[in-house]
Amino acid sequence: MTQAMTFAAIIVAAGAGTRIGSGPAKQWRMLAGKPVLQWSIEAFTAAGVAEGVVVIPADAGATAQPILAGRPGWRTVPGGATRALSVQAGLAALGVSADTPVLVHDAARPLLKPAHISDLLAALESADAALPALAVADTLRRVTDGATETVSRECLWRAQTPQAARRARLESAYARWSGPGEPTDDAAVVEADGGRIALTPGDAALMKLTYPEDFAMAELLAGKTMTMRIGQGFDAHRWGPGEAVWLCGVQIAHDQTLIGHSDADAGLHALTDALLGALGEGDIGDHFPPTDPQWKGAASDLFLKHAADMVTARGGRILNLDVTLICERPKIKPHRAAMRQRLADLLGLALDQVSVKATTTEGMGFTGRQEGLAAQAVALIEVPT
Ligand code: MG
């Protein structure tokens, strides 16, 4: 056993990651019970990092704050327009000495292990920069103008992060970078500056979360299991005089309105109860008592968001929602697409995770007599076991 070496870490979490789909950027999403970013912070902390900087989007301070709270030695800095500028912002914020190894890591690779870190630190004893790399296993094909050819995978490796170099070496290499283009890789910057690069063993677990389906794979690799929970909700409100009605977060012009203490959006109320039911957390009346004047006329978005935040706080996520509106009028179909989009936007879900349906009761019952409108909903969530 060699004595643990002092090192610093920069986690780059400033990207938008558009391939991951709609919703929050991937570094803030939950993975097996905690935010993606938190996994890397905990891995570096467990390995004895002396100082850590997380480079975040300039407007993400409030989002990052709860993840970094109570972690001495960690702080955030705003990122730049490119990964290279973000890394340099991180370097500038470090207080460690010029010869301290710095590990630059992508937040989107959450499953960092102690061995990855110790391998990199050991490699810096004889190299200017080091990175984990995996041999390419798949046969590769190059496609040019519709023509395709096999490319030999011999000698090809996939570069991963963290990438390590001593602070001053990395800073000067970035300062002297002259292209072409923007560097996407820290080792490449040191290499272009004449540095010697070492490869350490890569790991499938260092996979980069890029597409929505990568989260399911990472959950498996994280070794945590999730349990599915289902909940259902029902709500009804009475029709009264008015000119518009709120349904599933969308306002529809109509010759009546629904009467209620809040905005009487029965669709959102049923969905809120479905989520609370899946969590075993009572019903909407427990959380937002109708006797409380502060909810008078409230936009029901608030209720649904509260229930969704409770799922997130539990380390869980919504898998899908399905709501059925039951009324003779207004016609729901022309507004269904807008309702789905509104719900998806409100909850940071993909459109196919949200369903809005409608039916009449063919003139029967209180909905059929147009005394009121009813809504029922189911929600499927998963939470850490
Ligand atoms: Mg209600």
How many Å lie between the centroid of ligand 1 and the Cα of residue 282? 14
Provide CB contacts within 8 A for 198, sequence distance 6+. Answer: 123, 124, 126, 127, 129, 130
pTM for the complete prediction?
0.62
How many Å lie between the centroid of ligand 1 and the Cα of residue 317? 24
How many Å lie between the centroid of ligand 1 and the Cα of residue 260? 7
How many Å lie between the centroid of ligand 1 and the Cα of residue 383? 26
Nearest to 161 by CA among 191, 185, 193: 185
How many Å lie between the centroid of ligand 1 and the Cα of residue 248? 12
Q: Return the bridge partners of 233, or none.
A: 377
Quote the pLDDT of residue 174. 97
The mean per-residue pLDDT over the stretch 67-89 comes to 94
Quote the pLDDT of residue 17. 63
The mean per-residue pLDDT over the stretch 85-111 comes to 96
Nearest to 263 by CA among 282, 287, 237, 289: 237
How many Å lie between the centroid of ligand 1 and the Cα of residue 265? 6
Quote the pLDDT of residue 320. 98
How many Å lie between the centroid of ligand 1 and the Cα of residue 302? 13
The encoded tokens of residue 289 equal 């008592």
What would the pLDDT profile of 367-383 be if each residue is shown by its tens digit?
A: 999 999 999 999 999 98
Distance CA(258)–CA(246), nearest Å, equals: 8
> What's the half-sphere exposure (Cβ side, CA atoms, 13 Å) at 378?
5
Quote the pLDDT of residue 4. 60
How many Å lie between the centroid of ligand 1 and the Cα of residue 373? 10
- Given a cut of 70, whether residue 61 has pLDDT beyond it is yes
120-129, 172-181, 363-372: the lowest-pLDDT one: 172-181
- Given a cut of 50, whether residue 141 has pLDDT beyond it is yes
- Given a cut of 50, whether residue 2 has pLDDT beyond it is no
How many Å lie between the centroid of ligand 1 and the Cα of residue 57? 38
- Given a cut of 50, whether residue 311 has pLDDT beyond it is yes
How many Å lie between the centroid of ligand 1 and the Cα of residue 264? 5
How many Å lie between the centroid of ligand 1 and the Cα of residue 370? 17
In whole numbers, what is the pLDDT of the chain averaged over residues? 93
Q: Return the bridge partners of 320, or none.
A: 380
Quote the pLDDT of residue 163. 98
pLDDT bucket at 16, cuts 50 / 70 / 90:
low
How many Å lie between the centroid of ligand 1 and the Cα of residue 235? 5
How many Å lie between the centroid of ligand 1 and the Cα of residue 316? 25
Percentage, residues of the chain above pLDDT 70 = 97
How many Å lie between the centroid of ligand 1 and the Cα of residue 385? 31
How many Å lie between the centroid of ligand 1 and the Cα of residue 5? 60
Residues, beta carbon < 5 Å, ion ligand 1: 235, 269
Phi, psi torsion values for 13, nearest 5 degrees:
-130, 35
How many Å lie between the centroid of ligand 1 and the Cα of residue 28? 32
How many Å lie between the centroid of ligand 1 and the Cα of residue 257? 13
How many Å lie between the centroid of ligand 1 and the Cα of residue 267? 8
The mean per-residue pLDDT over the stretch 334-356 comes to 97
How many Å lie between the centroid of ligand 1 and the Cα of residue 344? 20
How many Å lie between the centroid of ligand 1 and the Cα of residue 270? 7
Type of residue numbered 314: R
- Given a cut of 60, whether residue 110 has pLDDT beyond it is yes
The mean per-residue pLDDT over the stretch 204-226 comes to 86
Quote the pLDDT of residue 20. 63
How many Å lie between the centroid of ligand 1 and the Cα of residue 327? 15
pLDDT bucket at 24, cuts 50 / 70 / 90:
confident
Question: Which range scores top for mean pLDDT: 5-19, 149-163, 175-189, 229-243?
Answer: 229-243
How many Å lie between the centroid of ligand 1 and the Cα of residue 254? 19
Quote the pLDDT of residue 223. 73
What would the pLDDT profile of 35-54 be if each residue is shown by its tens digit?
A: 999 999 999 998 999 999 99
Quote the pLDDT of residue 97. 96
DSSP 8-state code for residue 127:
-
- Given a cut of 70, whether residue 199 has pLDDT beyond it is yes
Provide CB contacts within 8 A for 203, sequence distance 6+. Answer: 111, 113, 116, 132, 134, 160
How far CA 263 is from CA of 106, 129, 245, 267, 296, in Å, comes to 44, 60, 8, 11, 8
Is residue 217 within 8 Å of residue 31, measured between CB atoms?
no
How many Å lie between the centroid of ligand 1 and the Cα of residue 337? 22
The mean per-residue pLDDT over the stretch 245-259 comes to 97
Q: Which domains are assigned to the chain?
A: 8-222 (3.90.550.10), 226-384 (3.30.1330.50)
